[in-house]
Amino acid sequence: MSTGSHVIHALYTDDDVLMNAVKEAKKKHLHINEVYTPFPVHGLDKAMGLAPTKLAITAFMYGCVGLTVAITMMNFIMIEDWPQNIGGKPSFSYIENMPAFVPIMFELTVFFAAHLMVITFYMRSRLWPFKKAENPDVRTTDDHFLMEIDASGHDAQELADFLVGTGATEINLVANEE
């Protein structure tokens, strides 16, 4: 029996069993749409064959933006716009004052990287305010793990038997919402 446009939700109760099931499904060349877990499972992204993230590069670029803003701001405020003699420090050159500015440069680098990374994470994850949750089973927020497999072009019973063999405790055939 061909399933057409359906997905199979396989529920697991242990993360190690889930990890082995993902590896077995990949060996059978099954397309895993998504895996829902109550906590991060180490190595799951590699087992699913997901590409490595480029968020570290983004964080570095955001930190560079923060450092640039800090240097520009301090040079304008303390040297060009309103130079003041604070503690006998010369105020006619940024380079001579730079050691006193290092804490500000560090703080703005971290501030920009952290805040812009949070915004990037929410945008990349499509987590908008008031967005309806996409979690297919509420138990995955507590103690269950759900693997969603594309069932189109496969025999549903054969696929269900395979998933039970990998340790799934519950199998559900669901119409694909895409």
C-alpha closest to that of 9 among 139, 157, 146: 146
Helix/strand/coil (H, E, C) string of 54-69? CHHHHHHHHHHHHHHH
Q: How confident is the model at residue 1 (pLDDT cuts 50, 70, 90)?
A: very low
Task: State which H helix or E strand residue 72 sits in.
Answer: helix 55-74
C-alpha closest to that of 98 among 80, 118, 124, 71: 71
What are φ and ψ of residue 145, in 5° steps? -120, 135
Give the per-residue pLDDT at 151: 87
Whether pLDDT at 92 is above 80: no
Give the per-residue pLDDT at 3: 46
Task: From residue 14, give the alpha-carbon distance in Å to each of 7, 27, 39, 143.
Answer: 21, 20, 11, 8
Give the per-residue pLDDT at 4: 54
Give the per-residue pLDDT at 55: 87
Stretch 93-102: mean pLDDT? 82
